[in-house]
Amino acid sequence: MPMKTLITALLLSAATVSHAAPVDPYGYKLPPSMQKKKKAAAPKKKAVPAIDYVGEFVNFGDWKEVRAFLDDLAARDGFDRAELGALINQVRYVDAAVQLVKPAPPGKPKNWQAYSKLMIDPVRIDAGVKFWNDNADALARAESLYGVPAEVLVGIIGIETVYGRNTGRFRVLDAITTLAFSYPEAPQRRERMEFFRGELEATLLFARQDGVDPLSLKGSFAGAIGMPQFMPSSLMKYAVDFDGSGKIDLQNSSSDAIGSVAAFLAGHGWQRAQGGPVVYAATVSPNRAWEGMLNQGLAAKYRSAELSTAGVTTAVPAPDQLYGLVDLQNGAEPTEYWLANTNFFAITQYNRSYFYAMSVVELGRAVRLARAPAPASSNASGM
């Protein structure tokens, strides 16, 4: 979702696939827990906790800020003001959205290994293999048109919603309106409310454009929609009718989801010409001359030679491109370091997190290996 992703409980997969410890040319191996997995009956579904996504009735139409906002929409976008008023009277206040959007309290140190075990597991890998097999033509077409490899598209959709199994049960209009006018106290509360007001406008514009009832749209607690969890503004700007049905349906059309994710990445800096891995495993020298290269924003800024001079090396020779130095903390265990190119940082525009982008890369790679294991040719690591 092109905003902060909620780590959700995983729903259960369909048929399992036998993983035979495959290795790719860059030495990436599936974790031992995912290798040589015996075929087994699908486990029973776990109960999903109830969420009060319906919310409570609040007469948003009586709120001064809401009335002014609707007046602006009617003037700016040509909506009928009376119809907007009738619509807003059906919107509910969702306290669950307010609670879920609050920052998590300080807790344990960041731990990439723990995070990756949660996000790259046999359920997602098996589901990813099926998704790739079922949508091979659309994935190949998106890769050809936008230059984004199929495994990256598969990785994003798998991390976001386990291929459409967990797209959210909140009414989008309820969640977004609540956050647009009742965002919890926070240092950037006003800016966040302005963001959600923009998303509310985009929701109404999309519903009008596609001829759908805006109250019928379901999504996450923050209003993200469909298999790829697009916020409404991203849906309006990047979503495509990739299956040629005449409308955009990110909830039910895998093709539309695939094409839309590819279009989003292409629009956020993905470079077809770079090819190859988006990250390379790195080692760093004890003198820590490289330390100033960390946390330099979500962009590739350094040439290979600069990184090498600072004491950063890779087992697999990295092409002469721009890179960022990425640190993946592992709690009390040693931190992992990676060189990440421009395409890795394009993924971070989907979710501004190194952990997120690396989980997309690893899941996509694991699914590819599970589909068609490649022979080992190196013990070096690159992805």
Tokens describing residue 354:
């190194």
- For residue 268, the one-letter residue type is H
Q: Characterise 34 by phi-psi region: left (phi > 0), alpha (psi -120 to 50), beta (else).
A: alpha
59 DSSP 8-state letter: -
Asked whether 38 and 156 are in contact (CB, 8 A), the reply is no
Tokens representing 148 are 């984004």
Which residue blocks in 40-171 are alpha helix, DSSP H?
64-77, 81-88, 95-101, 112-119, 122-134, 136-146, 150-161
Are the C-beta atoms of residues 365 and 151 closer than 8 Å to each other? yes
What is the C-alpha separation between 89 and 67, in angstroms, rounded?
11
Residues 250 and 229: beta-carbon distance below 8 Å: no
d(CA 310, CA 288): 8
Pairing verdict, β 322-330 and 333-341: antiparallel
* Catalytic hit among 160, 199, 201, 362: 160
Structure tokens at 164: 């459409």
Active site residue 362: no
Q: Smallest Cα–Cα separation from 196: which of 210, 175, 215?
A: 175
* Residues carrying an active site annotation: 160
